[in-house]
């Protein structure tokens, strides 16, 4: 009979946030598959656990994953953890879970800390409904293309960003989504945990200098408007924002047409009109 694969959430900063159930599970498995053995070793030492570790990260080979699967098929229980938070949330491990399920290995989640929900809890943003976007593309055009469909949807957005690209992302988000309320959460659950709240434009100025720490960005949903129905003015505003960023009329029309499901020809005509007035 195959063993079980436990997908275990681990602390995102404060090592004491490991749940009793997670600790018990880690103490009983034959092997822990982890991103970085150095990081997981610190967690185990903090909780006085001694369990063999096996590195499983974005650069692991199929053979590495196969060794873990072999042990599961032989009947051994294995835990899958990431460096911080819930595995598979912007972390490697998806292929191992998929392969385990394909071989009828039971996959059991052990829930716990998550930077996504932790940031939302103290963000002050209306997050009754939200979408997690992970890390945004580095390319500005691809980034805007990903954000554009959310311009009118009543959803908060949660994403991870590096300290080097935070200001750039705040600028791109404001240009695409408008100047929404937002929160930058830093060093969650750690000693120097901070929450900076305000409009995207205010946060741009706040973080103009050096940015430190691990970051989670929460962007609020669009605010209610007197005329929620789609109009030509809405299309003009979105096109103007993209054109101001140096995007060509053709590319801006493509992005806006796709986001609002309207004919590109009509949107392109509006883009050309705006270009002639600039």
Q: What are the CA-CA distances from residue 222 to residues 5, 70, 108, 127, 228 (Å)?
A: 41, 49, 37, 11, 11
The residue ranges of the chain whose pLDDT is under 70 are: 90-92, 224-231, 278
Task: Give domain status of residue 107, yes or no.
Answer: yes
Other beta carbons within 10 angstroms of residue 60's beta carbon come to 19
Shared-domain flag, residues 108 and 9: yes
Task: Give domain status of residue 42, yes or no.
Answer: yes
112 phi and psi angles, rounded to 5 deg: 175, -145
pLDDT of residue 60: 87
Task: Give domain status of residue 167, yes or no.
Answer: yes
Task: Give domain status of residue 224, yes or no.
Answer: no
Shared-domain flag, residues 132 and 158: yes
* Domain boundary residue, one of 113, 138, 156: 113
Shared-domain flag, residues 19 and 46: yes
CA distance 250 to 115: 38
Sign, CA torsion 273/274/275/278 = positive
Return the closest-CA partner of residue 237 out of 133, 152, 153, 156: 152
Shared-domain flag, residues 96 and 14: yes
Shared-domain flag, residues 107 and 120: no
pLDDT of residue 226: 41
Shared-domain flag, residues 75 and 145: no
Contact between residue 34 and residue 13 where contact means Cβ atoms under 8 Å apart: no
Task: Find tokens 């791109």 and name the residue.
Answer: 172
Beta-sheet strand order (sheet of 181-186): 130-135, 156-161, 215-219, 181-186, 194-199
> In the structure encoding, which two tokens stand for residue 121, read together?
């809890």
> In the structure encoding, which two tokens stand for residue 144, read together?
């805007």
Tally of domains in the chain = 3
CA distance 224 to 237: 16
pLDDT of residue 230: 56
The string of DSSP codes covering 32-50 is EEES-HHHHHHHHHHTT--
pLDDT of residue 49: 98
Residue 212's domain comprises 116-219
* Domain boundary residue, one of 113, 143, 178: 113
Q: What pLDDT, in 10s, does the model give residues 162-187? A: 999 999 999 999 988 989 999 999 99
pTM across the whole model:
0.78
Say which residues have a Cβ less than 8 Å from residue 84's Cβ, sequence separation at least 6.
10, 11, 12, 13, 39, 113, 115
* Domain boundary residue, one of 113, 132, 162: 113
pLDDT of residue 229: 44
**What's the Rg (C-alpha) of the chain?**
22
Task: Give domain status of residue 132, yes or no.
Answer: yes
Shared-domain flag, residues 10 and 107: yes
- CATH number reported for the structural domain that contains residue 132 in this entry: 3.30.950.10
């Amino acid at each position: 009979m195959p063993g079980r694969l436990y997908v275990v959430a681990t602390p995102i900063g404060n090592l004491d946030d490991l749940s009793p159930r997670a600790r018990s599970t880690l103490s009983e498995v034959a092997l822990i598959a982890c991103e970085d053995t150095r990081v997981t070793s610190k967690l185990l030492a903090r909780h006085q656990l001694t369990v063999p570790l096996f590195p499983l990260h974005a650069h692991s080979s199929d053979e590495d994953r196969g060794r873990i699967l072999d042990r599961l098929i032989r009947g051994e229980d294995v835990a899958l953890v990431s460096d911080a938070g819930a595995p598979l949330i912007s972390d490697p491990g998806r292929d191992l879970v998929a392969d385990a399920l394909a071989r009828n290995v039971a996959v059991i989640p052990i829930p716990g800390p998550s930077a996504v929900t932790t940031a939302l809890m103290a963000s002050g943003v209306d997050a009754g409904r939200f979408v997690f976007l992970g890390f945004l593309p580095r390319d500005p055009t691809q980034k805007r293309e990903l954000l554009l469909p959310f311009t009118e949807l009543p959803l908060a957005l949660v994403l991870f960003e590096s300290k080097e690209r935070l200001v750039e992302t705040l600028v791109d988000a404001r240009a695409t989504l408008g100047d929404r309320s937002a929160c930058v959460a830093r060093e969650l659950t750690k000693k120097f945990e901070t929450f900076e709240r305000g409009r995207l434009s205010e946060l741009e100025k706040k973080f103009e200098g050096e940015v430190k720490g691990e970051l989670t960005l929460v962007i609020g949903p669009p605010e209610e408007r007197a005329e929620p129905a789609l109009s030509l003015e809405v299309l003009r505003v979105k096109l103007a924002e993209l054109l101001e960023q140096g995007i060509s009329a053709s590319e801006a029309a493509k992005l806006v047409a796709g986001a609002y499901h309207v004919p590109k020809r009509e949107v392109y005509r509006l883009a050309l009109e705006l270009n002639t007035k600039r």
